[in-house]
């Protein structure tokens, strides 16, 4: 069998056209119905081309091959391209550290990963705080390892980080003095309930970027995000604080992070961030509830799915220029633009896949957003389990455990044979986190999520192709309307 | 002058490594590098076979003696950072007699330093190697006729150029200079940086970087200036390093559109050309294509490639709309060069390795020798 006979492709179609996604070149090719059916059958047979292609199909295949498509090349070895540079990335190139200044929180959110009753394999809320010594040594640790970064960033995370504002203040002043020859940035991820004018002024003076958790209208927000002390909803307190902030610190930058509970309708969320005089037009990033560590899995409701689809559809029409921007959902517009920005990067053309490569899922653990827990343990980011030994990639005193980092970076070696033949290779979303089975990295757990990733990628492929078919300019997709 | 180098960073490494080439009277005695630049706390060799110097994080830590401040070129991420660095420099002025500035500081910062020197209780001279100079300062005048003829350069010319910025061009040119001098050749050199006079050769003439001067003026003027230099110095070889990048990368990153290299190559044709490139993985290897591109675009042939430790993160660069690079460990480059050097038609070297650089130098000598034989024939 020659190499050309098992093309590495995926056949997909939109209501208007048939396509072959060519994995080696990372490109879509528009094909006619008969060629599509033929190649689709080949894909279903593991890539092997079926016998009996008519002259027309043969001619099309010949043309595609001549243009560099339909290569059957697959990676021979699963090895992340950055493996060789790991030591460099972790010693010179850390972009951001996230300091867990406290594990305590003044909220008890319904979906919170740190609520012991519903969640396994993640820590509980606790009163543990980061000491000044640990925080300052984390800054020193970062200062030694960010030489290649022009804009290194220090993030403050919790629990609720503003419970430890004096520590934040101390760390900020220390880091600014230490890293005076860097364009240092600060971020804080907060519920904004403790955002006093004094804190806001300090953050404005020190060029902070705030990420504020807000889940939507009072009704939606207060359903999940309640004060620990009295169980009351927090929306009004946050709104009041933000109004003060806007008035007193107009230069303080902030954006919203919204966790969407798909069991409930979502119209009000879209309306709030589109039409409300205060929240309308704000920068916002929305995500669905992360139930990775939860015993209870969140199943989207029918009403949510309908409403969400409708908002997305209107947004596409807006992008196409046939629906008024002001009537479309601001949240959906931003989500779609973000998706297309990502897509533009992921769709870089290529000549072929290298001999040794890894699926696109993992970032370099610890390089992008090194998470430092209250007791100085290092994690790849803030989204992983803090109780999992597999996710502990070092500590401030001893530095990185390169073996563990390499293991997470090359997590796809666990499912090497599946990955080598998977058409999602260049668009996979699975890093080490989803393989974490209560402390052990599990190939089966990783494998169990492959189908869902393939569905998501195919969905986004279709969205992308649809926009091309309707001639929506790339600039409109990326910058929004 | 016993010089404290501040801010010591990656851009300054070639000068430190080749400190022995500094003109008499210049001695590097102390190094200070801000935290976060990856240098503080380490020890570096200053000049081949010289002693080690510790890199300090602050002036307070310095125990070595110094009487001058040497400001090397550095990449400050923004004006605010440069301002803060200059504020630190101001603290030194009462304790020094000279500031030797080879960094292109903002006009405001240069003024600030000059004024502080002027007002200092102890006399302190600000020597600015980056001052703009008009054609007249180089003994040149705008050509009277349109499209003036160029004079043939009858001394072998070696040019070092870079596909990207920061690909060790300066370092490679110093290493080649060192070897030419070692073998008894007289070298006339034009460096890609300001302040090359401290090392006994010429900085790249400022008129070539002037925006308001047309290429049709720059090309004959550069040609004429090189001739003047040759007449004065009677060299056996001319070594020129072209600043900046060779050409645009894509529509987004145009990087001077390759105009400066074009002007230099039009003005003085190289007899040997070393091309410095970024580090690329085996799959991305485009060196042969690159040499063909040079032939078509500039009518020059590449004789040797140097692979630097710079990686360009194309995806991130496009995402953030600015060029984002990684400077990986040199050992990784050496391994990759050793792996891949046999795959290309044109020899590939890691010129930062002394043995590899010797081989590169031999390749250049061989090329110049064969070219000279051809000319005789």
pLDDT of residue A5: 74
Query: Taking CA atoms, what residue in B is nearest to A146?
Result: B36
What value does the mean pLDDT take over residues B52-65?
Answer: 96
Mean pLDDT lowest for which of A287-296, A411-420, B334-343, B349-358? Answer: B334-343
Check CB contact under 8 Å for A147 and B36.
yes
pLDDT of residue A1: 39
Considering chain A, what is the average pLDDT of its residues?
A: 92
Check CB contact under 8 Å for A180 and B84.
yes
Query: Taking CA atoms, what residue in A is nearest to B6?
Result: A181
Please count the residues of chain A: 481
Name chain A contacts of B39, Cβ cutoff 8 Å.
Answer: 147
pLDDT of residue B377: 43
* CA A139 vs CA A142, A152, B340: distances in Å: 5, 11, 39
pLDDT at residue A285 is higher than 70 = yes
What value does the mean pLDDT take over residues A138-144?
Answer: 98
Name chain B contacts of A180, Cβ cutoff 8 Å.
Answer: 34, 81, 84-85, 88
Residue A294 confidence class, pLDDT cut points 50, 70, 90: confident
Query: A140, A181, A207, A350: best mutation site toward chain B, by most B Cβ within 10 Å?
Result: A181
CB-based burial label for A9 (10 Å; 0-12, 13-18, 19+): buried
- Is B77 within 8 Å of chain A by CB? yes
- Is A88 within 8 Å of chain B by CB? yes
pLDDT of residue A169: 98
Considering only residues A143 and A115, tell me which one the structure prediction assigns the higher pLDDT. A143
Check CB contact under 8 Å for A180 and B326.
no
Mean pLDDT lowest for which of A56-65, A241-250, A283-292? Answer: A283-292
Name chain A contacts of B313, Cβ cutoff 8 Å.
Answer: none
The answer to whether B6 and B61 have CB atoms below 8 angstroms apart is no
Query: A73, A147, A339, A478: best mutation site toward chain B, by most B Cβ within 10 Å?
Result: A147
Please tell me the distance from the alpha carbon of residue B150 to that of residue B225, in angstroms, as a whole number. Answer: 11
Name chain A contacts of B311, Cβ cutoff 8 Å.
Answer: 85
pLDDT of residue B283: 61
Q: What pLDDT digit, counting tens, does each position of B274-307 carry?
A: 999 998 876 666 888 899 999 999 999 999 999 9
Share of chain A above pLDDT 90, in %: 76
The answer to whether B53 and B43 have CB atoms below 8 angstroms apart is yes
pLDDT at residue B376 is higher than 50 = no
Residue B344 confidence class, pLDDT cut points 50, 70, 90: confident
Share of chain B above pLDDT 90, in %: 72
Please tell me the distance from the alpha carbon of residue B164 to that of residue B162, in angstroms, as a whole number. Answer: 5
Considering only residues A129 and B131, tell me which one the structure prediction assigns the higher pLDDT. A129
pLDDT at residue A26 is higher than 90 = yes
Name chain B contacts of A146, Cβ cutoff 8 Å.
Answer: 36
- Is A183 within 8 Å of chain B by CB? yes
Name chain A contacts of B36, Cβ cutoff 8 Å.
Answer: 143, 146-147, 152, 178-179, 181-182
Min Cα separation B328/chain A (Å): 6
Give the orientation angle of helix B215-233 with respect to helix B259-267, to 10 degrees: 50
pLDDT of residue B282: 64
pLDDT of residue B47: 87
What value does the mean pLDDT take over residues B27-33?
Answer: 97
Question: For every residue of A33-54, which 3-state class applies, written as one string?
Answer: HHHHHHHHHHHHCCCCCCCCCC
Q: What pLDDT digit, counting tens, does each position of B201-223 carry?
A: 999 999 999 988 999 999 999 99
* CA B155 vs CA A351, B223, B238, B302, B374: distances in Å: 43, 13, 7, 19, 14
Residue A2 confidence class, pLDDT cut points 50, 70, 90: very low
- Is A151 within 8 Å of chain B by CB? yes
* A35-52 burial code (b ≥16 CB/10 A, e <16): bbebbbebbeeebebeee
Q: What pLDDT digit, counting tens, does each position of A3-15 carry?
A: 447 999 999 999 9
Query: B8, B58, B283: best mutation site toward chain A, by most A Cβ within 10 Å?
Result: B283
Min Cα separation B267/chain A (Å): 37
* A22: Cα separation from own chain's centroid: 25
pLDDT at residue B116 is higher than 90 = yes
CB-based burial label for A259 (10 Å; 0-12, 13-18, 19+): buried
Going from the N-terminus, what domains does chain B have, and what CATH number goes with each?
2-128 (3.40.50.720), 135-376 (3.40.50.300)
Min Cα separation B229/chain A (Å): 39
Sign of CA dihedral B140, B143, B147, B148: negative
pLDDT of residue A296: 76
Q: Per the confidence metrics, is the pTM higher than 0.80?
A: yes
pLDDT of residue A3: 43
- Is A81 within 8 Å of chain B by CB? yes
* CA B295 vs CA A32, A187, B289, B298: distances in Å: 42, 49, 10, 6
Considering only residues A310 and B144, tell me which one the structure prediction assigns the higher pLDDT. A310
Name chain A contacts of B34, Cβ cutoff 8 Å.
Answer: 179-182
Q: What pLDDT digit, counting tens, does each position of A364-386 carry?
A: 999 999 999 999 999 999 999 99
pLDDT at residue B373 is higher than 80 = no
Please tell me the distance from the alpha carbon of residue A464 to that of residue A401, in angstroms, as a whole number. Answer: 40
Residue B39 confidence class, pLDDT cut points 50, 70, 90: very high
Residue A74 confidence class, pLDDT cut points 50, 70, 90: very high
Scanning B302-361 for CB atoms below 8 A from A yields 311, 314-315, 318-319, 325-329, 332
Query: Taking CA atoms, what residue in B is nearest to A81?
Result: B281
Residue B370 confidence class, pLDDT cut points 50, 70, 90: confident
Name chain A contacts of B76, Cβ cutoff 8 Å.
Answer: 181
Name chain A contacts of B249, Cβ cutoff 8 Å.
Answer: none
Name chain B contacts of A89, Cβ cutoff 8 Å.
Answer: 326
Check CB contact under 8 Å for A182 and B282.
no
User: Parallel, antiparallel, or unpaired: how do β-strands B304-307 and A370-372 relate?
Assistant: unpaired
Beta bridge partners of B32: B56
* CA A458 vs CA A14, A424, A464, B212, B288: distances in Å: 11, 9, 10, 53, 38
Going from the N-terminus, what domains does chain A have, and what CATH number goes with each?
3-73 (no CATH), 83-315 (3.20.20.70)
pLDDT at residue A119 is higher than 60 = no
Mean pLDDT lowest for which of A201-205, A450-454, A470-474, B255-259? Answer: A470-474
pLDDT at residue B103 is higher than 80 = yes
The answer to whether A7 and A72 have CB atoms below 8 angstroms apart is yes
User: Parallel, antiparallel, or unpaired: how do β-strands B310-312 and B43-45 relate?
Assistant: unpaired
Q: Which of A89, A179, A354 sits opposite B36 (nearest CB)?
A: A179
* CA B228 vs CA A280, B153, B225: distances in Å: 68, 11, 5
Q: What pLDDT digit, counting tens, does each position of B176-203 carry?
A: 999 999 999 999 999 999 999 999 999 9
Which range, A267-271, A470-474, B171-175, is most confident?
A: B171-175
Name chain B contacts of A152, Cβ cutoff 8 Å.
Answer: 36
Share of chain A above pLDDT 70, in %: 97
Residue A228 confidence class, pLDDT cut points 50, 70, 90: very high
Name chain A contacts of B37, Cβ cutoff 8 Å.
Answer: 147, 181
- Is A199 within 8 Å of chain B by CB? no
Min Cα separation B104/chain A (Å): 16
Query: Taking CA atoms, what residue in A is nearest to B330?
Result: A88
Share of chain B above pLDDT 70, in %: 96
Check CB contact under 8 Å for A180 and B332.
no
- Is A348 within 8 Å of chain B by CB? yes
pLDDT at residue A144 is higher than 80 = yes
Q: How many CB atoms lie within 10 A of CB A351?
A: 12
Q: Which residues contact residue A237 at a Cβ distance below 8 angstroms, ignoring those fewer than 6 apart?
A: A193
pLDDT at residue B115 is higher than 70 = yes
* A112: Cα separation from own chain's centroid: 18
pLDDT of residue A126: 87
Q: Which of A87, A152, A345 sits opposite B36 (nearest CB)?
A: A152
Considering only residues A6 and B338, tell me which one the structure prediction assigns the higher pLDDT. A6
* CA B106 vs CA A56, B74, B119: distances in Å: 67, 12, 20
């Amino acid at each position: 069998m020659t190499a050309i006979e098992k093309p590495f492709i995926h056949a997909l179609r939109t209501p208007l056209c048939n396509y072959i996604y060519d994995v080696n070149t990372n490109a879509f090719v528009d094909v006619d119905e008969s060629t599509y059916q033929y190649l689709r059958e080949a894909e279903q047979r593991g890539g092997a081309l079926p016998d009996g292609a008519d002259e027309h199909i043969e001619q099309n295949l010949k043309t595609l091959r001549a243009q560099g498509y339909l290569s059957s090349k697959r990676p021979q070895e699963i090895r992340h391209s950055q493996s060789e540079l790991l030591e460099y990335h972790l010693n010179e190139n850390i972009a951001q550290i996230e300091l867990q200044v406290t594990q305590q929180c003044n909220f008890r959110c319904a979906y919170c990963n740190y609520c012991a009753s519903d969640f396994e394999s993640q820590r509980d809320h606790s009163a543990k705080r980061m000491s000044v010594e640990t925080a300052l040594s984390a800054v020193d640790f970062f200062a030694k390892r960010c030489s290649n970064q022009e804009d290194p960033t220090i993030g403050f995370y919790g629990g609720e980080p503003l419970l430890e504002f004096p520590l934040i203040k101390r760390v900020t002043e220390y880091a600014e003095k230490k890293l005076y020859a860097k364009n240092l940035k600060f971020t804080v991820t907060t519920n904004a309930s403790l955002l006093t004018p004094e804190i806001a002024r300090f953050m404005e003076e020190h060029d902070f970027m705030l990420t504020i958790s807000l889940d939507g209208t009072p009704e939606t927000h207060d359903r999940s995000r309640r004060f620990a002390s009295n169980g009351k909803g927090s929306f009004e307190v946050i709104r009041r604080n933000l109004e003060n902030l806007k008035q007193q610190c107009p230069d303080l930058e902030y954006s919203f992070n919204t966790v969407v509970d798909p069991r409930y309708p979502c119209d009000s969320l879209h309306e709030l961030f589109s039409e409300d005089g205060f929240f309308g037009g704000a920068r916002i990033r929305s995500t669905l509830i992360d139930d990775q560590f939860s015993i209870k899995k969140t199943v989207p409701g029918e009403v949510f799915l309908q409403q969400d689809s409708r908002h997305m559809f209107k947004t596409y029409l807006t992008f196409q220029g046939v629906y008024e921007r002001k009537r479309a959902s601001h949240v959906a517009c931003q989500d779609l633009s973000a998706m297309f920005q990502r897509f533009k990067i992921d769709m870089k053309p290529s000549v072929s896949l290298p001999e040794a490569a890894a699926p696109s899922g993992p970032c370099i653990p610890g390089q992008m957003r090194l998470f430092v827990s209250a007791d100085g343990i290092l994690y790849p980011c803030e989204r992983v389990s803090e109780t999992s030994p597999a996710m502990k990639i070092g500590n401030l005193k001893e530095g990185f455990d390169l073996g563990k980092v390499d293991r997470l970076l090359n997590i796809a070696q666990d499912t090497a044979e599946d990955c080598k033949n998977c058409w999602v290779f260049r668009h996979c979303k699975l890093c080490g986190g989803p393989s974490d089975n209560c402390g052990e990295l599990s190939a089966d757990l990783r494998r169990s999520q492959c189908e869902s990733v393939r569905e998501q990628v195919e969905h986004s492929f279709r969205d992308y192709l649809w926009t091309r078919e309707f001639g929506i300019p790339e600039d409109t997709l990326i910058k929004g309307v | 002058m016993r010089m404290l180098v501040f801010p010591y960073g990656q851009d300054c490494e070639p000068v430190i490594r080749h400190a022995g080439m500094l003109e008499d009277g210049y001695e590097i005695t102390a190094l200070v590098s801000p935290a976060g630049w990856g240098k503080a706390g380490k020890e570096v060799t200053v000049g081949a076979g010289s002693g080690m110097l510790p890199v300090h994080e602050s002036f307070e830590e310095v125990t070595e003696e110094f009487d001058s401040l040497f400001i090397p070129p550095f990449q400050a991420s923004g004006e605010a950072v440069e301002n803060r660095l200059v504020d630190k420099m101001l603290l030194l002025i009462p304790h020094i007699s000279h500031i030797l500035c080879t960094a292109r500081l903002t006009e405001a910062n240069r003024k600030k330093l000059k004024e502080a020197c002027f007002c200092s209780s102890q006399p302190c001279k600000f020597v600015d190697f980056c001052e703009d100079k008009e054609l007249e300062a180089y003994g040149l005048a705008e050509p009277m006729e349109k499209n003036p003829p160029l004079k043939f350069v009858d001394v072998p010319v070696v040019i070092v150029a870079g596909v990207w910025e920061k690909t060790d061009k300066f370092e490679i040119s110093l290493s080649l200079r060192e070897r030419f001098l070692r073998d008894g050749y007289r070298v006339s050199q034009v460096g890609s940086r300001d302040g090359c006079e401290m090392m006994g050769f010429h900085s790249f003439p400022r008129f070539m970087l002037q925006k308001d001067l047309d290429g049709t003026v720059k090309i004959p003027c550069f040609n004429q200036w090189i001739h003047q230099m040759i007449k004065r110095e009677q060299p056996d070889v001319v070594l020129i390093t072209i600043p900046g990048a060779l050409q645009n990368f894509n529509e987004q990153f145009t990087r001077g559109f390759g105009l400066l290299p074009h002007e230099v190559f039009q003005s003085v044709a190289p007899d040997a050309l070393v091309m410095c490139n970024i580090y690329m993985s085996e799959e991305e290897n485009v060196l042969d294509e690159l040499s063909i591109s040079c032939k078509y675009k500039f009518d020059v042939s590449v004789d040797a490639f140097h692979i630097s430790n710079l990686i360009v993160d194309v995806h991130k660069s496009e995402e953030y709309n600015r060029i984002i690079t990684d400077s990986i460990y040199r050992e990784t480059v050496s391994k990759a060069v050793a792996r891949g050097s046999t795959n290309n038609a044109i020899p590939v070297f890691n010129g930062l390795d002394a043995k590899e650089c010797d081989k590169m130098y031999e390749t250049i000598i061989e090329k110049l020798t064969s070219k000279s034989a051809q000319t005789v024939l």
